Amino acid sequence: GESVGLHLPTLSVQEGDNSIINCAYSNSASDYFIWYKQESGKGPQFIIDIRSNMDKRQGQRVTVLLNKTVKHLSLQIAATQPGDSAVYFCAERRVDSSYKLIFGSGTRLLVRP
Amino acid sequence: KAGVTQTPRYLIKTRGQQVTLSCSPISGHRSVSWYQQTPGQGLQFLFEYFSETQRNKGNFPGRFSGRQFSNSRSEMNVSTLELGDSALYLCASSLGRGAFNYGYTFGSGTRLTVV
């Protein structure tokens, strides 16, 4: 679904550990996926993207994995830092005429010092 | 390189009033989309503009409208405000429809409070 309520799923990790945030998307025809990070009072900030013809993409400290068979997307953050604490959203882009982004419900990442 | 600029950052309006929000996309970006973010509904698509034409609209009442100018700047308007319109309104710009680029870049949003 697309709802993000006050009861966001929360992932709590120790500083320095790796984090894995998961997302299930809904449309097998989506061609493009993006992970965003949103800090309090700010707009979503681009982290990493991946096209549907790829399975994996790496950035600086982040890796996105795409499993089209089960329509699953994950974001891995290596050596998680306190500054990584935020809400993370996955978004899928539909290939129909709309090209709009459909957002997942979000996961709150809390990094314990 | 300037990012996406949304003005104003904060607004307080009374029920029944109307409001206009502005979005200046990244230079060279031609597509502007608007999203509403609330704690209860999350991020929901409002509409998309490309080349001054609305290309797609989300499931929002006709009180929500928008437009795009020749310089790609966009405005959205909400008439006859209701309490439920209180939200963070986000604008995202992208190079063009269907483009693969570094994501759809969001602005910081306009926080609208209706009292």
Other C-beta atoms lying within 10 Å of the C-beta of residue A48: 19
pLDDT at A100: 81
Report chain A residues whose CB lies below 8 A from the CB of B56.
97-100
Contact in structure between A109 and A88 (CB atoms under 8 Å): yes
Taking chain A, what is the end-to-end CA distance rounded to the nearest angstrom?
32
CA distance A97 to A74: 26
Residue B54 is encoded by which pair of tokens? 């609305």
Query: Closest-CA residue in chain A for B54?
Result: A98
Query: Closest-CA residue in chain B for A43?
Result: B108
Which of B34, B91, B104, B108 has the most A C-beta neighbours within 10 Å, making it the best mutation to test the interface with A?
B104
B109–A43: do the CB atoms touch at under 8 Å? yes
Give the Cα-Cα-Cα angle B55, B107, A50 (nearest 5 degrees): 70
- pLDDT > 70? residue B104: yes
User: Percent of chain B, pLDDT > 90?
Assistant: 82
Point out the least confidently predicted range of B25-34, B57-66, B102-111: B102-111
Q: What is the pLDDT of residues A53-91, one digit of tens each?
A: 999 999 999 999 999 999 999 999 999 999 999 999 999
What is the arithmetic mean of pLDDT over A11-35?
92
Contact in structure between A22 and A11 (CB atoms under 8 Å): no
Query: Closest-CA residue in chain B for A7?
Result: B39
Please provide the average confidence, as pLDDT, over all residues in chain B.
92
User: Percent of chain A, pLDDT > 70?
Assistant: 91
pLDDT at B98: 64
Q: What is the pLDDT of residues B5-50, one digit of tens each?
A: 999 999 999 999 999 999 999 999 999 999 999 988 889 999 999 9
- pLDDT > 90? residue B102: no
CA distance A88 to chain B (A): 12
B100–A44: do the CB atoms touch at under 8 Å? no
Residue A102 is encoded by which pair of tokens? 């459909």
In terms of Cα–Cα distance, which of B68, B70, B32, B34 is closest to B53? B68
CA distance B102 to chain A (A): 7
DSSP states of chain A:
-----SS--EEEEETTS-EEEEEE-S-TT--EEEEEEE-TTS--EEEEEEETT-SEEE-SSEEEEEETTTTEEEEEESS--GGG-EEEEEEEE--STT--EEE---EEEEEE-
The three state secondary structure string of chain B is: CCCCEEECCEEEECCCCCEEEEEECCCCCCEEEEEEEECCCEEEEEEEEECCEEEEECCCCCCEEEEECCCCCEEEEECCCCHHHCEEEEEEEECCCCCCCCCCEECCCEEEEEC
pLDDT at B1: 62
CA distance A101 to A13: 29
More confident residue, B62 or A2: B62
A103–B42: do the CB atoms touch at under 8 Å? yes
User: Percent of chain B, pLDDT > 70?
Assistant: 93
pLDDT at B87: 97
CA distance B111 to chain A (A): 9
